[in-house]
Amino acid sequence: MPENISQFIPFLVPIIVIQFGLMVAAIIHILHHNKYRFGNRALWLVISIFIGIIGPVLYFTIGKGDE
């Protein structure tokens, strides 16, 4: 079984890096801005941190307010 996991590492590392990059970018943006289309700061922080890749993507597509 462990040898099967090692086969997927080249695919998992870029996905993990992208996930953390998006999460950090979303958290920084959420903490520096006060306008949101839907919800509030606490809601978007929870979504961005706990929903993985989809959370930050949702924030940047539907949650981020106009500047």
CB 33 within 8 A of CB 66: no
**pLDDT for 46:** 94
What single letter denotes the amino acid at residue 32? H
| pLDDT, tens only, 9-51 | 889 999 999 999 999 999 999 999 888 888 889 999 999 999 9
pTM assigned to the model: 0.80
CB 6 within 8 A of CB 40: no
**pLDDT for 28:** 95
Residue 64 pLDDT level (bands cut at 50, 70, 90): confident
**pLDDT for 67:** 62
